[in-house]
Amino acid sequence: MFPSLGMPEIILILVIALVVFGPKQIPEVGKALGRTLNEIRRASMSGWDEVLESDKEAKKEVEEETTQPRTTATEAQEKP
Protein backbone atom coordinates (compact mmCIF):
# COMPACT_ATOMS: atom_id res chain seq x y z
CA MET A 1 0.00 0.00 0.00
CA PHE A 2 2.83 2.38 0.85
CA PRO A 3 5.80 1.04 -1.11
CA SER A 4 8.11 3.96 -0.31
CA LEU A 5 7.45 3.76 3.44
CA GLY A 6 10.48 2.18 5.12
CA MET A 7 11.21 1.21 8.71
CA PRO A 8 12.62 4.63 9.74
CA GLU A 9 9.51 6.39 8.47
CA ILE A 10 7.21 3.99 10.31
CA ILE A 11 9.15 4.48 13.55
CA LEU A 12 8.95 8.25 13.14
CA ILE A 13 5.18 8.07 12.61
CA LEU A 14 4.77 5.90 15.71
CA VAL A 15 6.87 8.28 17.85
CA ILE A 16 4.83 11.27 16.67
CA ALA A 17 1.59 9.40 17.41
CA LEU A 18 2.89 8.54 20.89
CA VAL A 19 3.70 12.19 21.60
CA VAL A 20 0.40 13.50 20.21
CA PHE A 21 -2.01 10.96 21.68
CA GLY A 22 -0.15 9.62 24.71
CA PRO A 23 0.48 6.02 25.70
CA LYS A 24 -3.04 5.45 27.09
CA GLN A 25 -4.89 6.54 23.97
CA ILE A 26 -2.75 4.71 21.39
CA PRO A 27 -4.71 1.40 21.71
CA GLU A 28 -8.02 3.28 21.41
CA VAL A 29 -6.81 5.11 18.31
CA GLY A 30 -5.61 1.83 16.82
CA LYS A 31 -8.98 0.18 17.45
CA ALA A 32 -10.84 3.11 15.91
CA LEU A 33 -8.56 3.05 12.86
CA GLY A 34 -9.06 -0.70 12.50
CA ARG A 35 -12.84 -0.36 12.69
CA THR A 36 -12.79 2.42 10.13
CA LEU A 37 -10.67 0.41 7.69
CA ASN A 38 -12.93 -2.62 8.21
CA GLU A 39 -16.04 -0.57 7.43
CA ILE A 40 -14.41 0.83 4.30
CA ARG A 41 -13.50 -2.69 3.18
CA ARG A 42 -17.03 -3.95 3.81
CA ALA A 43 -18.56 -1.05 1.92
CA SER A 44 -16.29 -1.56 -1.06
CA MET A 45 -16.95 -5.31 -1.11
CA SER A 46 -20.72 -4.83 -0.96
CA GLY A 47 -20.43 -2.44 -3.89
CA TRP A 48 -18.60 -5.09 -5.88
CA ASP A 49 -21.20 -7.68 -4.94
CA GLU A 50 -23.91 -5.46 -6.41
CA VAL A 51 -21.92 -4.99 -9.61
CA LEU A 52 -21.31 -8.72 -9.95
CA GLU A 53 -24.98 -9.49 -9.33
CA SER A 54 -26.11 -7.03 -12.01
CA ASP A 55 -23.58 -8.56 -14.42
CA LYS A 56 -25.01 -12.02 -13.74
CA GLU A 57 -28.52 -10.78 -14.45
CA ALA A 58 -27.41 -9.14 -17.70
CA LYS A 59 -25.65 -12.35 -18.73
CA LYS A 60 -28.83 -14.36 -18.09
CA GLU A 61 -30.86 -11.94 -20.21
CA VAL A 62 -28.41 -12.21 -23.09
CA GLU A 63 -28.36 -16.01 -22.85
CA GLU A 64 -32.17 -16.13 -22.90
CA GLU A 65 -32.31 -13.90 -25.95
CA THR A 66 -29.74 -15.93 -27.84
CA THR A 67 -31.28 -19.34 -27.05
CA GLN A 68 -34.82 -18.43 -28.11
CA PRO A 69 -35.58 -19.31 -31.73
CA ARG A 70 -36.10 -16.33 -33.97
CA THR A 71 -38.76 -16.10 -36.60
CA THR A 72 -37.83 -14.73 -39.96
CA ALA A 73 -40.01 -12.29 -41.87
CA THR A 74 -41.24 -15.02 -44.22
CA GLU A 75 -42.18 -17.31 -41.34
CA ALA A 76 -44.12 -14.50 -39.69
CA GLN A 77 -46.05 -13.87 -42.93
CA GLU A 78 -46.87 -17.54 -43.41
CA LYS A 79 -48.48 -17.87 -39.99
CA PRO A 80 -52.18 -16.93 -39.93
Q: Give the per-residue SS3 of 29-64.
A: HHHHHHHHHHHHHHHHHHHHHHHHHHHHHHHHHHHH
Length, in residues, of the chain: 80
- On the question of pLDDT at 52 being above 80, the answer is no
CA distance 50 to 75: 41
**Structure confidence at residue 78 (pLDDT):** 64
What is the pLDDT, as a whole number, of residue 38? 87
pLDDT, position 77: 62
Query: pLDDT tens across 20-46, in order?
Result: 888 888 888 888 888 998 888 887 777
Domain spans in the chain, listed from the N-terminal domain onward: 23-59
Evaluated on CA atoms 35, 37, 41, 44, the torsion sign reads positive
What's the confidence (pLDDT) of residue 66? Answer: 73
- Residue 74 has a pLDDT of 64
Distance CA 68, CA 80 (A): 21
Average pLDDT of every residue of the chain: 78
